[in-house]
Amino acid sequence: MSTRYNFREYEAKWQKAWAEALVYQTKEKTPKYYVLEMLPYPSGRLHMGHVRNYTFGDVIARYKRASGYSILHPMGWDAFGLPAENAAIQHGVHPKVWTLENVRFMKEEIQSLGISYDWSREILTCSPDYYRHEQKIFLDFLKQGIAYRKESFVNWDPVEGTVLANEQVIDGKGWRSGAPVERRKLSQWFLKITDFAQELLDDLTHLDHWPEQVKTMQANWIGRSKGALIHFPLIEKEEVLEVFTTRPDTIFGASFIGISPDHPFVEELAKTAPALHTFITECRALGTSQKDVETAEKKGFNTGLTVRHPFLKNHTLPLYVANFVLIDYGTGVIFGCPAHDERDYEFAVKYKLPILPVIKDPQEGPLPYGGEGLLINSEFLNGLTVEEAKKEVIHRLVTKKLGTAQISYKLRDWGVSRQRYWGAPIPIIHCTHCGIVPVPEDQLPVTLPEDVTFDQPGNPLDSHPTWKYVDCPVCGHPSERETDTFDTFMDSSWYFARYCSPHSAQPFERKEAEFWLPVDQYIGGIEHAILHLLYARFFTKALRECGYWNISEPFKNLLTQGMVCHETYRDQAGSWLYPNQVERRDGQLVKIADGTPVKVGRSEKMSKSKCNVVPAAKIVEEYGADTIRLFMLSDSPPERDFEWTEAGIEGSWRYINKVWRLVTSHLSDLRTVKADDVPLTFTDNALEIRKLTHKTISLVTQDIERFHYNRYVAHLREFTNALEEFIPNDASEFWTLHEAFHTLVLLISPALPHLAETLWAELGHPPFVVNQPWPQADPAFLREEEVTLAIQVNGKLRGTLVISPDLSVDEAKALILDLPFVTAQVQDSPVKKFIYIPGKIANVVL
C-alpha cells in the first residue's frame, strides 16, 4: 500500500461512478431539504470564493442526505451582465461566445470539486428558455400594476454617448472617456417594491434563521419612519411645497426650506433663471451615486422665493435649492432646522442663516444637538418632550389643514431598465397609436438578436437595422420594440423557483415549487445582504400576488460567508505581482524574474486588480479536490474572512494522507472483525476510544448543524490523533478500532467525499459511502463521570479539582474549602459567598 494518497486516480474514479449511478439525482420525497448556493456569475475561472461557497453547501447537503432527507442541490449561471459587454468592446468577442466559453470552463472546474449537484437541473439565465419566463413574469407584473414606467436619472457619458454603471464612473468621470459624467433623465421601467415595503419589513421578524446583521441592514434599507407632511405655501407664487419631516417638533427652529435640484418645481423655475439652470447642471455633474451626493460639499442656491411658516404669522423662510436634498426620499423638499441637524447646521453656517435652538440640551453641549429634551422657543410646544411635541404639532397641522401624519420609507421603487445589449429584452412594443403595448404571450420569447457589433456608442439594440422594427400587435401600425433590457438582478430574483422544475413550459410548476420552497439553506456572500436578498424576497411576494404560488419568503435559513483573502505583493516599481511571480530566497521574498525584493502588503480580498488571486483549478490539480475542500472548512468560521496561505493548503494535504495511512495500515487487522459480534467486555483502552468515538459523533453532528465547520475539522483531527496512538491488542480492541474507523470514514464523508469513498471500499464495502446513514452517538458514552472543576478565590483561578458532577453544593463546599491552595488564600477571613456551578466552577468570595 502506497503511503501517499493517489487523489488523481480516486477522485476521477468516484466522480465518474457517482455520475453513472445518478447518486445525486433529486428525488421528490419527504422530508425534503433544499440547499442553494448563490447563482455564480461566469467570470471565466473558478475562484476561491466559489470553492468556499460550494464546499459549505456540499457539506450540509451530504450531511442532510445521510440524515435521511431528500435533497435538492442545483447549480446554474447568472449569465447576463456587464463584463460580457466589456469583453466584447475590449477584445471583440461576442458576449454570447465569451459567456458560454466561461460557463464551459467553470463548469468543468466545479465538477472537479466533486460537489453533490444534480446537474440535470442546470439553468442558464442568458438562454431564451430561461428569460422567456422572466418576460412572462414581467407581463404579469404589468397586469397586476407592479410594473410601471417613470422618468429617472442615469449616468450619462456625453463623449461615449452611453449610459454608465456607477462602477464605471470614477471621480465623476467616465472610466473610458474620462469625460465628466452628467445625471440625465430617461423614461424607464420600475417595479413597485415600495408597495411591499411594510410586508418586507414585517416579515423580517419571522426569518429566525437569518443573521441579525442582515435583517438589521434590510430594515434600515427599507427605512420606515414616522413623521409629518407639512404644506408650505409660497408667498410670491400660487404654489404649495410639501415637506416630509421626521422632526415636526422642531418646526419653530426652521430657518430655511431646501428643495432638491431635481424637483419638478425647480426645473420649472430654471426655465426662466439661467443662474439656477447653471446650478442644477453643477449638481447633476455628481452622477447618481448616493455616496458621492452625500459626501459632496453642501451647496445651495437662493431662489429669492419665500414660504410662510405654518404657525408664525408674518414669519417667512427662504427657499434654497440644495444639493444634499434627495429627490427620491420623502417629497424632495425639507425644512432646515440647523440647531438640531448636522447637515442643516453646516448649511446654515455657510449661508449665514439663523440658528435657533428649540430643544434644551440637558448637558448644555454644543450645537447641533440631536438628543432628547424639553421644547423651548416654540410657542405652544414649550415645555413638552420631543415625543409630545411631535404629536401636538401634527394635531395642530391637521386642525389647520396644513399637514398630516405620514409614514415614509427610504426604500425606492426598483428601476429594472438597462440601456444595454447583454440582458433579457423587455417584452414591450412602443406604438405611436396605441402607446405601450405588451408583446402577446404567444409571441414570447422576445429573443435577443445575435447579429450585433460594438463598434458604435450606445446599446447595439438601438442601432440594430431590423430587430427593433415590428408591427404593433394591436393596430398593425409600424412600431418599435423596447430596446432596453432587464437588470440582471431580475434573473437572480426567481431562479430558485425555476430549479424546482427547470424544464417546465411555465416559469415553474406550482406543485414542485411549493414542495421544495422555501430554500432550507441559502449560502452566499455578505455583499448580497441587501440588494439581491431584498429583490428575491420582493419577487416571491409579487409572484404570490400574481397567483403563481402561496409562498411569501424564499429563504428559510441564510448563511453569509466572508471573503477569501490573500497577501498582496508589489515589486520595486509598485506594480502588483501574482503569488506565482514571487518566491522565497534566503528568507526574503523576491521577484522570480529579476531577483529584486518584493514588498509584502496586507491581506486583501482576492481580486484581479491586486493580482492576489490563486486560481482554484491549479490547486485542485496539485492537491486534489478533498484537500482544497478541507482547507476551505478549516481554521476560519464561515462568516469570517478566510486567509489563503500556501502553508494552510499543505497542512490539509498532510491530514488527508494521515487518514489514508492510518486506515490502510490496519486493514489486515480489521478484516477479521465481525461488526455484529459485539464483545461482552472491553479493556479500559477500548472503552476510552469508544467514548471518544461517540463523543466525536455528537460533537461533529452539532458542529455541522451549526455551521461551525472549522470546529468540525478540529474535532476530526483530534479523533484522528487519538486513533493514531491506539494500538489494539485484544479482540475487544480490534472491534473498537473497527467501530472507530467506520465512524471516522462516515464523519469525514461530507467534507472529503472522495477519500471517504476510497476508504469505504478499502474497508471491504460496496459503494457508496455517500449513501450510508449518518452515525448515531450512543448516549451511554456521553455521560461524564468525573469533571475538572475550576476553583476560584475572589474570582481568581487558584487551582482545579476533579470530582463527580453530581455532588451537592454542601459536599463540594466542604471539599473545596479544605484544599490547600484555597486555605492558603482564605486564611482566617470569613467566606462571604460560595458560588458553585456543578461541572464548571466554584468561586470562594471573601
Tell me: does residue 291 bind RNA (CB under 7 A).
yes
d(CA 683, CA 786): 19
Output the CA torsion 710→713→719→722 (10° steps). -90
Q: Closest distance between RNA and the C-beta of residue 179, in Å?
A: 16
What stretch of H or E contains 54?
Answer: helix 48-66
Q: Can you tell me which of 53, 55, 250, 636 binds RNA, judged by CB under 7 A?
A: 636
Phi, psi at 230, each rounded to 5°? -120, 135
Q: How far apart are CA 838 and CA 808, in angstroms?
A: 8
Among 16-24, 437-445, 506-514, 646-654, the segment contacting RNA (CB under 7 A):
646-654
Report, in Å, the least distance between residue 311 CB and RNA.
29
How far is 663 from 720, CA to CA, in rounded Å?
10
Consecutive H or E run containing 157: strand 147-157
CB of 552 to RNA, least distance (A): 20
| Shortest Å distance, C-beta 16 to RNA | 28
Distances (CA, A) of 637 to 38, 272, 343, 480: 19, 62, 40, 54
| Out of 11, 58, 78, 118, the residue judged to bind RNA by CB under 7 A | 78
- As measured in angstroms, the least distance from the Cβ of 70 to RNA is 29
* Rounded Cα–Cα distance for residues 732 and 738 (Å): 10
In whole angstroms, the minimum distance from the beta carbon of 107 to RNA comes to 16
Q: Between residue 805 and residue 844, which ones bind RNA under the rule CB under 7 A?
A: 821, 833, 835, 837, 840-841, 843
CA pair distance 515, 494, nearest whole angstrom:
16
Contacts with RNA in 20-59 (CB under 7 A)?
41
CA 393 to chain centre: 41
Residue 624 binding RNA, by CB under 7 A: no
* Strands, sheet with 32-37, edge to edge from the N-terminal-most edge strand: 70-72, 32-37, 521-525, 558-561
Within positions 688 to 747, which residues make up the interface with RNA, using CB under 7 A? 708, 710-711, 713-714, 717-718, 721, 724-725
Polymer length in residues for the chain? 846
Residue ranges in 146-165 that form contacts with RNA under rule CB under 7 A: 154-155, 163-165
Looking at the Cβ atoms of 763 and 822, the one nearer to RNA is 822
Shortest Cβ 795–RNA spacing (Å):
3
Which part of the chain contacts RNA (CB under 7 A), choosing from 175-183, 208-216, 437-445, 729-737?
A: 208-216
Taking CB under 7 A as the criterion, the residue among 277, 658, 691, 695 binding RNA is 658
Between 28 and 724, name the residue whose CB sits nearer to RNA.
724
Residue from 28, 108, 151, 294 binding RNA (CB under 7 A): 294
Distance of alpha carbon 713 from alpha carbon 838, whole angstroms: 29
**Near RNA in 516-535, by CB under 7 A:** 526-532
Please state the closest distance from residue 641 (CB atom) to RNA, in A.
6
> Which among 48, 52, 60, 54 has a CA at the least distance from the CA of 76?
54
> Strands (DSSP E) along 238-315, which ranges?
240-245, 256-259, 300-308
Taking the C-alpha atoms of residue 551 and residue 537, their distance in angstroms, rounded to an integer, is: 10
**What is the closest distance, in whole angstroms, from the C-beta atom of residue 845 to RNA in the complex?**
5
Which of these, 529, 506, 439, 546, lies nearest to 192 by C-alpha position?
546
Number of residues that bind RNA (CB under 7 A): 99
Q: Does 277 bind RNA (CB under 7 A)?
A: no
Subset of residues 746 to 775 that bind RNA, contact rule: CB under 7 A: none
As measured in angstroms, the least distance from the Cβ of 512 to RNA is: 25
Cis peptide before 768 (omega within 30 of 0): yes
Number of Cβ within a 10 Å radius of residue 188: 18
What is the closest distance, in whole angstroms, from the C-beta atom of residue 768 to RNA in the complex? 28
Nearer to RNA, 116 or 561 (CB): 561
Our CA angle for 685, 686, 687, nearest 5°, is 90
Residues from 409 through 438 that contact RNA (CB under 7 A): 410-412, 414-415, 417-420
Looking at residues 170 to 199 of the shown chain, list those that interact with RNA (rule: CB under 7 A): 186, 188
**CB-CB neighbours of 312 under 10 Å:** 13
Site for RNA in 548-607 (CB under 7 A): 563, 604-605
Please identify, using beta-carbon distances, which residue of 50 and 738 lies nearer to RNA.
Answer: 50
Q: How far is the CB of 94 from RNA (least distance, A)?
A: 17
Residue span binding RNA (CB under 7 A) among the ranges 53-61, 64-72, 81-89, 375-383: 81-89
Least Cβ distance, residue 295 to RNA (angstroms): 5
d(CA 441, CA 427): 9
Residues 6+ positions from 95 with CB-CB distance below 8 Å: 84, 85, 87, 88, 421, 422
785 makes contact with RNA (CB under 7 A)? no
328 touches RNA by CB under 7 A: yes
CB 79 → RNA: shortest distance, Å? Answer: 8
- Quick one: 532 or 754, whose CB is closer to RNA? 532
User: What is the CB-side half-sphere exposure of residue 758 using CA atoms within 13 A?
Assistant: 23
Pick from 90, 795, 811, 829 the residue near RNA by CB under 7 A.
795
Site for RNA in 90-149 (CB under 7 A): none
Contact (Cβ atoms closer than 8 angstroms) between residue 75 and residue 37: yes
Question: Do the Cβ atoms of 604 and 565 come closer than 8 Å?
Answer: yes
Q: Closest separation between CB of residue 752 and RNA, Å?
A: 15
Q: Which of 331, 378, 479, 634 binds RNA (CB under 7 A)?
A: 634
Nearer to RNA, 78 or 140 (CB): 78
Nearer to RNA, 15 or 540 (CB): 540
d(CA 14, CA 5): 14
Closest Cα to residue 137, out of 191, 78, 62? 191
Closest CA to 296 of 306, 283, 307, 308: 283
Identify which range of 141-149, 288-296, 444-452, 453-461 contacts RNA by CB under 7 A.
288-296
Minimum Å gap between C-beta 690 and RNA is 19
Residue number, 116 or 843, with CB nearest to RNA = 843
Rg (CA), the chain: 34
Nearer to RNA, 401 or 833 (CB): 833
Nearer to RNA by Cβ, of 291 and 674: the residue is 291
Minimum separation from the CB atom of position 492 to RNA (A): 7
Within positions 213 to 272, which residues make up the interface with RNA, using CB under 7 A?
213, 216-217, 220-221, 223
Residue closer to RNA by CB (options 384, 497) is 497
Classify 382 in phi/psi space as left (phi over 0), alpha (psi -120 to 50) or beta: beta
**Residue (41 or 117) nearer to RNA, CB:** 41
**Pick from 314, 342, 297, 315: nearest CA to 256:** 315
| Residue span binding RNA (CB under 7 A) among the ranges 462-470, 515-523, 540-548, 647-655 | 647-655
Question: Of 67, 177, 289, 463, which one interacts with RNA (CB under 7 A)?
Answer: 289
Residues 367, 373, 379, 383: what is their CA dihedral angle, to the nearest 10 degrees? -150
Residues 351 to 410 in contact with RNA, rule: CB under 7 A = 410
What is the rounded CA–CA span in Å between residue 189 and residue 147?
Answer: 7
CA distance 782 to 53: 33
The span from the first CA to the last CA of the chain, in angstroms, equals 64
Give the nearer residue to RNA in terms of CB position, either 317 or 424.
424
Which 475-494 positions form the footprint of RNA (CB under 7 A)?
Answer: 487-489, 492
Q: Which is nearer to RNA, 273 or 526 (CB)?
A: 526
Candidate residues 573, 647, 727, 780; the one interacting with RNA per rule CB under 7 A: 647
